[in-house]
Amino acid sequence: MSEGIENKVVLITGGGTGLGAETARLLASKGAIVAVAARRKDKLDEVVAQIKEAGGKAGAYPLDVVDKVQFKSVVDSVIADFGKLDVLVNNAGLMPIRPMAEVNTDEWDAMIDINIKGVLYGIAAVLPIFLAQSSGHIINISSVAGVKVFSPGGTVYSGTKFAVRAISEGLRHEVGDKVRVSSIEPGAVESDLKYSTTGTAQSTVMEFYKSAIPASAVARSIAFVIEQPVEVDINEIVLRPTVQEF
């Protein structure tokens, strides 16, 4: 168990696989009550089963983060099931890497919808609740590509992750007296994210991810920001493999 995490109710988007699932398992092991949300219910059920088998508490909630009405409904359901909500981890994301010259506007739209709008819809769903209770924590998963532009190929992806970082900082400035806000910016992490790239840059992405660190490394950083005393807000963490130059 971990003081500062124990008995907190944490909602994690993209919680069925990779970083989201690893974070859910870690937080549950530290005493959190975890709500995992994603589009694939079967994957969510697997994570919940693992947590419960280990003695933890968890629930599964189907969610497409681009549906703002559904996002609000999931938040309401989590509160109805567990009595409260303390933390939102905006983890769901998409990373199709492709040169801009190929002008794949469908991929651009998808990244903008999931990586930016999905984060905003999550904020919209929880912020009135957190402000009303004068407590809460919003953790947005950005990327090192939101610190330095990942090009060629990742220009639009970087644009979305720079946006997440800017939204996080602006939100902190506006509501930081009541709500903690953290931006986590990982480098190459072992997860399903690399499989978002199916086009001409796929081999480049797979080569980049050969040095990936385990999702557990990022999960620990998320646990770290949550477990801080209420008067401490860790606003930003950048972490990457030691061998990663970018």
Catalytic positions are 157
Q: How many CB atoms lie within 10 A of CB 170?
A: 11
* Distance (Å, whole) CA 47 – CA 52: 9
The helix/strand/coil state of 228 is coil
Going by C-alpha positions, the residue among 150, 237, 242, 148 that lies closest to residue 193 is: 150
* Distance (Å, whole) CA 243 – CA 41: 36
DSSP code of 212?
P
Determine contact, residues 181/123, Cβ cutoff 8 Å.
no
Read off φ and ψ for residue 14, nearest 5 degrees: 60, 35
- Token match 């409904």: residue? 73
